[in-house]
Amino acid sequence: MDMSFFESKMGRGLLFGGLTICLLLTPTFVTDIYILSIFNLMIIYAILCMGLNLILGFTGLLSLGHAAFYGIGAYTTAILMTRFGFGFVAAFCASAVLAMIAGIIIALPTRKVRGDYFCLITLAFGEIFRLVATSWIEFTRGAMGIVGIPIPKIFGLQIVTETHFYYLGLGILTFTYLTLRAITKTRYGRAFIAIREDELAADTMGINTSIYKIMAFSIGCLYAGMAGSFLAVYQTAVTPSNFRLEESCLMIIMVIVGGMGRNLFAPLAGVAVMTVATEVFRSTAEYRMLIIGLIMILVLLIRPQGIFGSSSFKN
Amino acid sequence: MLGEVILVGVMVGAVYALVTVGYSMVFGILKLMNFAHGDTYIFGTLICLTLLAKYNIHPVLAILIAAIAGGGLAFLVELLVYRRLRAPQHRLISMITALGAAYVVQNISELQWGNQVMSFPSIVESKFVTLLGLQVSVTHIITLFVAVLCIAVLILFMRYSRYGKAIDCVSQDMDAASLMGIPINRVVSSVYFMGGVLGVVGGVLYSSAYNAVSLGMGFRGTLIAFTAAVIGGIGSLGGALLGGMILGLSENLIGVYVSSSYRDPLLYSLLIIMLLVKPTGILGNSDQTKV
């Protein structure tokens, strides 16, 4: 297929416009609540994976604890809305900021430790978050989770149906895309890529690698916090089992299958493939981890750059 | 009370050391975080459980068969999943595939045995004796003895056998070792096999000391092995022993005197703190980036 049309300015504009219209009109065509709920799930993962792509694809940091930041966002919204009477907008902002602060703290060690050790830190943090969320019963209600999160209201509009949540999610996703595009087009984005390609060289060229790594990581976590906040009001309940290591792995696979790197939309392909696959294989839930594991191995052995990846990872 | 807690801590520490040694050796050679380590040794431990409970095989024989099965699985994982990604630039990729391998192994065990906590038969009769004024379980003493014996044999093997020296060479410089005629693939495979065998022995000892085994212990075991290896100094044999001991002791002290539900979060915090303060561990060599 001739790709040059899609690479020209007009082609891209047409493609983009068409896509936007399709996305906006989806609820008019899709009336089945179940299908729409899958779309909403995809939106949540899309926000998460776009953020993770900044960490993994752009900067080359492997985070095995992304689900924990997602969880921080979800629990912040759940606790603020059920116990402190916060409105959704305030809770949403608080969730994003708190997840980002947690991200900054966890990313601080990148100043000192190598990439694979950093990965261990994120892994340990993810497990600590899940275990504390399960054990701290007074605060998080333990394994039962927090239920009865109120209906979110945005400027007087009540968000109740799947369609409402679809548009809310689409709004957050658009915000994610636009801010990420703005970030990655500046010298920050180029610095992130430079760190991924060769950290030592980037350092020698005068890029303050530790600050940029912390920046990339915490910005990625900010989006995870937003996704978590959306999940909390969408599900009206959060439990620790939403934020297991399995979830972090699923996000990593989505990013890898879609393709890590410069293309901001690439992870969305992975999100779509994996979400649909999960739904299709729902009846064979006992093979779920086997399938996830095999996909992880096979994709990386056969095509490490993913479906739409710009460059192979760390090569 | 404190005496008993410390003694149990030493016993658990010795078992952890056994599990950690296998993992740390692998890291020393390939610089690869083997996420499948815990799930591999739980697979072997569950095989041992089946042999003991279903077929009433003599414990020593059962452990032997299970250890070989666990070692074989570790060997297979290395051959199929890690070998093609051995080059250093693939390090992060191989970590993700390692995680994938862990999931596959875990799911296979789950299909066979389920994810419930199962009771594990005591290999020896559980009796209590009084030793130096402490009430001590015979199982714990035998566990400690077997773990120490395995470690001693391993140390002698590493120091005095040709194979041990070859492993040391490969971990120092793989390319140079290869040029000197050391068969890299065979050495790496055998290290994985040994790691699996030692892990299964540790897993069986731990399970029989606590009379319980569950699939969840696999991933916890992986994290425990990481933590112990990092504390002691990753890649070093002595470091693995020291780290395992520290972890076993602190696990029991925290569990008894602080809180049992926050035991694991505190242990994992130890990993983060250690990586922050001294990433090379207590006995590890400082690692420098080569330009």
Tens of pLDDT, residue by residue over B278-291, are 777 777 665 555 54
Phi-psi region of A224 (alpha: psi -120 to 50; beta: other; left: phi over 0): alpha
Q: How far is CA B119 from CA B109, B144, B202, in A?
A: 16, 21, 17
Tally of domains within chain A = 1
CB contact, 8 Å: B272 with chain A? yes
Residue A266 falls inside a structural domain: no
Asked if B95's CB is within 8 angstroms of A313's CB, the reply is no
pLDDT at residue A312, as a whole number? 46
Best CA proximity match to A111, nearest among A186, A195, A54, A219:
A195
Asked if B106's CB is within 8 angstroms of A289's CB, the reply is yes
CA–CA gap between residue A181 and residue A306 (Å, rounded): 20
Residue A258 falls inside a structural domain: no
pLDDT level of residue A69 (50, 70, 90 thresholds) = very high
pTM for this entry: 0.82
Name the residue range of residue B159's domain: 11-225
Length of chain A: 315
Tally of domains within chain B = 1
Residue A149 falls inside a structural domain: yes
Strands B128-131 and B134-137 come out as antiparallel
Asked if B111's CB is within 8 angstroms of A296's CB, the reply is no
pLDDT level of residue A68 (50, 70, 90 thresholds) = very high
Structure tokens at B228: 């112990």
Asked if A296's CB is within 8 angstroms of B97's CB, the reply is yes
Strands B212-213 and B118-119 come out as antiparallel
Burial level of A4, CB count in 10 A (0-12/13-18/19+)? exposed
**CA of B97, closest CA in chain A: separation in Å?**
5
Instruction: Report chain A residues whose CB lies below 8 A from the CB of B27.
Output: none
In sequence order, the 6+-apart residues with CB closer than 8 A to the CB of A78 are A146, A149, A232, A237, A238
- Tokens 């296979």 label which residue? B108
Best CA proximity match to B39, nearest among B97, B105, B99:
B105
User: 3-class DSSP state for residue B131?
Assistant: strand
Best CA proximity match to A26, nearest among A41, A12, A40:
A40
CA–CA gap between residue A168 and residue A282 (Å, rounded): 27
Asked if A293's CB is within 8 angstroms of B103's CB, the reply is yes
pLDDT at residue A196, as a whole number? 79
Name the residue range of residue A124's domain: 33-244
Sign of CA dihedral A172, A178, A179, A181: positive
**CA of A116, closest CA in chain B: separation in Å?**
7
B46-83 pLDDT, tens digit per residue, is: 988 888 888 878 888 888 898 999 999 989 888 888 88
Asked if B265's CB is within 8 angstroms of A128's CB, the reply is yes
pLDDT at residue A1, as a whole number? 43
pLDDT at residue A72, as a whole number? 92
Position B274, amino acid: M
B216-231 pLDDT, tens digit per residue, is: 788 888 888 888 888 8
Residue B236 falls inside a structural domain: no
pLDDT at residue B84, as a whole number? 79
A54-67 pLDDT, tens digit per residue, is: 888 778 788 888 99
Residues 160-219 of B with CB under 8 A from A: 219
Chain B residue closest to A121 (CA)? B272
pLDDT at residue A314, as a whole number? 43
Give pairs for A213-216: CB < 8 Å, separation 24+. Answer: A213/A59, A213/A61, A213/A107, A213/A110, A214/A104, A214/A107, A214/A108, A214/A110, A214/A111, A215/A188, A216/A54, A216/A55, A216/A58, A216/A59, A216/A61, A216/A192
Residue B75 falls inside a structural domain: yes
pLDDT at residue A98, as a whole number? 92
Q: How many CB atoms lie within 10 A of CB A307?
A: 15
Query: Residue A313 pLDDT > 50, yes or no?
Result: no
CA–CA gap between residue B223 and residue A120 (Å, rounded): 9
In sequence order, the 6+-apart residues with CB closer than 8 A to the CB of A295 are A253, A257, A274, B100
Q: How many CB atoms lie within 10 A of CB A291?
A: 17
pLDDT level of residue A101 (50, 70, 90 thresholds) = very high
What percentage of residues in chain A have a pLDDT greater than 70?
Answer: 93
Nearest CB to B81: which of A125, A290, A297?
A: A297
Instruction: Report chain A residues whose CB lies below 8 A from the CB of B275.
Output: 109, 113, 117, 120-121
Residue A3 falls inside a structural domain: no
Residue B113 falls inside a structural domain: yes
CA–CA gap between residue A136 and residue A128 (Å, rounded): 12
B115 close to B106: Cβ distance less than 8 angstroms: no
pLDDT at residue B177, as a whole number? 83
Residue B286 falls inside a structural domain: no
- Tokens 């430079």 label which residue? A194
pLDDT at residue B112, as a whole number? 84
Q: From first to last of the 291 residues of chain B, give the pLDDT tens digit.
A: 777 788 888 888 888 888 888 788 878 777 777 888 888 888 998 988 888 888 878 888 888 898 999 999 989 888 888 887 777 666 777 788 888 888 888 888 888 888 788 888 777 766 777 766 677 777 778 888 888 888 888 888 888 888 888 888 888 788 888 888 888 888 888 888 988 898 888 888 888 888 888 887 888 888 888 888 888 877 777 888 888 888 888 888 888 887 777 888 888 888 888 887 777 777 766 555 554
pLDDT at residue A315, as a whole number? 38
Residue B269 falls inside a structural domain: no
Instruction: Report chain A residues whose CB lies below 8 A from the CB of B97.
Output: 296-297, 300-301
Residue B198 falls inside a structural domain: yes
Section A76-98 average pLDDT: 87
HSE toward the beta carbon, residue A55, CA cutoff 13 A: 35
Residue B76 falls inside a structural domain: yes
Residue A268 falls inside a structural domain: no
Which position has the higher pLDDT, A305 or A145?
A145
Nearest CB to B92: which of A115, A288, A289?
A: A115
Residue B283 falls inside a structural domain: no
Instruction: Report chain B residues whose CB lies below 8 A from the CB of A296.
Output: 96-97, 99-100, 103
A185 close to A79: Cβ distance less than 8 angstroms: no
User: 3-class DSSP state for residue B282?
Assistant: coil
In sequence order, the 6+-apart residues with CB closer than 8 A to the CB of A97 are A222, A225
A144 close to A239: Cβ distance less than 8 angstroms: yes
